[in-house]
């Protein structure tokens, strides 16, 4: 599949988008508006994983011949896709595991700023350790407000989700950049699981110090894989106690592991990280600018139609810089149950939560709107 640039948006919408939808069999079974819970597998990915499993079946341990080099290659390609440094990249089973490993390597007692009602996996790891945690209302997304709170509370670490799972609001990289410029000594730790795969992103330019994400949502890479990107600043602050054979790759603890290898102590699952690499490449082939444009197109259409033609109120605010894939709507749990029972897959989180990805289109939106109109 050729790389599709933003100058080809009109062609992509008219032709390429439908071709891509044809690669996702789940879309033949129902209207899928739940990538915020789990992204879909394509036919190509299933075939790729099947080839890997067959090779393992036929070759046994020989399947993992050269595994260290293969993992390094995957790490390099993933880091390059998102503007990160491979030696400061770790491939991990999940965002939550990665965050907990990192906090074990950070000096405790530091003052941490959270947003109220943020995702538990970005809050609980700090609260369960000897960090001093402060929460502010999760409507405080502007750089100015975050900077004010950091200075007022003498914060050492800002830890939050790039996309708030409870309402779909996004904190764009431009906000993190402004916070880092105003407060360069503050470490910024971001859970990006609800963001990675929805828009172009360059880690080294983002202002974020630790970027952690699982890949089963918007990268559509299934479960068991994720990543950590580390800045130079947080690398200097870490004293990792995590060790395993995979850290040194020899029984004598010889050599100098990269920073990422201190967070990869055990044998790594080649299937899941090959899946991650495959999906990153797939997203690059589509183009992250195209993905963001398609999300924005369908989300804007839904936002306007829900606000203008139904009794329901949209919760997610408009961000002038970037759109998340989530559109949250003030609606009862019973409506979400009815939608799922009638072939429109979505989730409930303080209301109706819609996950809109590149494989969704206006027809998906119209089917949802028709149901909302019938049941209002």
- How do strand 326-330 and strand 352-355 relate by DSSP bridges? antiparallel
Round to whole Å and give the CA distance between 283 and 129.
37
List pLDDT tens digits, range 183-193. Answer: 999 999 999 99
What is the chain's mean pLDDT, rounded? 94
Is the pLDDT at 354 greater than 50? The verdict is: yes
Using 50, 70 and 90 to split pLDDT, how confident is the model at 337?
A: very high
Domains along the sequence of the chain with CATH: 6-41+287-375 (3.90.1150.10), 66-285 (3.40.640.10)
Q: What is the pLDDT of residue 37?
A: 98
Concatenating the DSSP letter of every residue in 106-119 gives S-SS-EEEEETT--
Please give the average per-residue pLDDT across 211-230, as a whole number: 98
Q: What is the pLDDT of residue 19?
A: 86
Is the pLDDT at 141 greater than 90? The verdict is: no
Please give the average per-residue pLDDT across 95-107, as a whole number: 97
Round to whole Å and give the CA distance between 160 and 147.
14
Please give the average per-residue pLDDT across 323-335, as a whole number: 97
Is the pLDDT at 79 greater than 60? The verdict is: yes
pLDDT over 90 percentage in the chain = 91
- The answer to whether the beta carbons of residues 113 and 136 sit under 8 Å apart is yes
| Number of residues that make up the chain | 376
Strand pairing partners for 227? 91, 213
List pLDDT tens digits, range 256-277. Answer: 999 999 999 999 999 999 999 9
Instruction: Count the neighbouring beta carbons within 10 Å of the beta carbon of residue 116.
Output: 12
Using 50, 70 and 90 to split pLDDT, how confident is the model at 92?
A: very high
The pair phi, psi for residue 198, each rounded to 5°, is -110, -10
Q: What is the pLDDT of residue 321?
A: 85
Q: Which ranges of the chain does DSSP label H, i.e. alpha helix? A: 9-11, 17-21, 26-29, 43-59, 67-81, 95-104, 120-127, 143-153, 173-182, 232-237, 245-248, 270-286, 288-309, 333-341, 362-375
Task: Give me Rg for the CA atoms of the chain.
Answer: 21
Please give the average per-residue pLDDT across 190-216, as a whole number: 98
List pLDDT tens digits, range 19-42. Answer: 899 999 999 999 999 999 999 999
Is the pLDDT at 165 greater than 90? The verdict is: yes
Put residue 255 in one of left, alpha, beta given phi > 0 → left and psi -120 to 50 → alpha. left
Using 50, 70 and 90 to split pLDDT, how confident is the model at 15?
A: low
Round to whole Å and give the CA distance between 125 and 179.
23
Q: What is the pLDDT of residue 1?
A: 33
Please give the average per-residue pLDDT across 319-332, as a whole number: 94
**Among candidates 250, 277, 276, which has minimal Cα distance to 261?**
250
Using 50, 70 and 90 to split pLDDT, how confident is the model at 131?
A: very high
């Amino acid at each position: 599949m050729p790389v599709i640039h933003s100058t080809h948006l009109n062609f992509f919408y008219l032709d390429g988008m439908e071709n891509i939808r044809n690669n996702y069999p789940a879309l033949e079974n129902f209207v899928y508006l739940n990538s915020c819970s789990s992204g879909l597998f394509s036919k190509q990915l299933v075939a790729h994983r099947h080839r890997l499993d067959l090779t393992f079946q036929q070759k046994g341990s020989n399947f993992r011949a050269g595994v260290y080099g293969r993992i390094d290659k995957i790490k390099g390609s993933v880091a390059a896709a998102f503007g990160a440094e491979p030696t400061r990249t770790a491939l991990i089973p999940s965002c939550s595991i990665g965050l907990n490993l990192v906090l074990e390597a950070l000096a405790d007692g530091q003052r941490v700023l959270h947003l109220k009602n943020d995702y538990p996996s970005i809050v609980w790891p700090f609260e369960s350790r000897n960090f001093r945690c402060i929460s502010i209302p999760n409507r405080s997304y502007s750089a100015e407000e975050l900077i004010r709170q950091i200075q007022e509370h003498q914060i050492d670490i800002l830890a939050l989700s790039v996309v708030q799972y409870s309402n779909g609001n996004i904190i764009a990289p431009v906000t993190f950049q402004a916070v880092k410029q105003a407060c360069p000594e503050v470490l910024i730790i971001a859970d990006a699981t609800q963001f990675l795969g929805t828009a172009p992103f360059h880690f080294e330019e983002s202002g974020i110090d630790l970027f952690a994400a699982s890949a089963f949502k918007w990268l559509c890479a299934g479960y068991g894989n994720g990543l950590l990107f580390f800045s130079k600043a947080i690398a200097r602050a870490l004293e990792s106690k995590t060790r395993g054979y995979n850290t040194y790759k020899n029984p004598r603890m010889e050599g100098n592991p990269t920073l990422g290898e201190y967070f990869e102590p055990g044998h790594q699952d080649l299937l899941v990280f090959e899946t991650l690499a495959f999906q990153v490449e797939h997203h690059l082939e589509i183009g992250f600018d195209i993905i963001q444009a398609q999300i924005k197109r369908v989300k804007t259409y839904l936002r306007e139609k829900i606000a203008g033609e139904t009794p329901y109120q949209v919760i997610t605010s408009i961000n002038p810089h970037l759109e998340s894939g989530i559109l949250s709507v003030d609606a009862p749990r019973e409506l979400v149950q009815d939608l799922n029972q009638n072939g429109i897959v979505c989730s409930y989180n303080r209301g109706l939560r819609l996950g809109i990805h590149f494989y969704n289109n206006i027809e998906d939106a119209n089917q949802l709107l028709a149901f909302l109109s019938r049941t209002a």
